[in-house]
Amino acid sequence: MKYYSKEHEWVEISGDVATIGISKHAADELGDITFVELPEDGADFTKGSVFSVVESVKAASDIYSPVNGKVCEINEELEDSPELVNDDAEGKGWICKMTGVSEADISGSMNEEQYKAFLAG
């Protein structure tokens, strides 16, 4: 199950590993994505800290970690194909995976239904 933040990041937790990216809504709002600054493999992040930057033809946006954890894998495909975020933001366009994550980290996050209601305002 995916969970969403008010800053439009999504996280999906399996065991103690979280896969993280930006929501389809955020990708659509940014427009054509031209560059994704990936976090360093092995870097530690706390919930709410900036771990990535996504640049588009419209703007550059900081991406905030929705969990505490250590980067254990980055989506290297984004280095050559940042448009994957536009094409499949909540699938092949994931940004990184973090380990050492607990379910408690997602407290305050929204499920898909709550996120859709949040977007509707």
CA pair distance 56, 45, nearest whole angstrom: 24
Q: Per-10-residue mean pLDDT for the chain, 121 residues long?
A: 96 95 97 97 97 95 96 98 98 98 89 97 90
Residue 33 pLDDT: 98
Cβ proximity of 96 and 42 under 8 Å: no
Residue 102 pLDDT: 86
Residues across the chain: 121
When divided into structural domains, the chain yields a total of 1
Does residue 87 sit within a domain? yes
> How many other CB atoms are found less than 10 A from the CB of residue 118?
14
Does residue 81 sit within a domain? yes
- Provide the domain limits for residue 44: 2-101
Does residue 38 sit within a domain? yes
CATH number, position 15: 2.40.50.100
CA pair distance 61, 18, nearest whole angstrom: 21
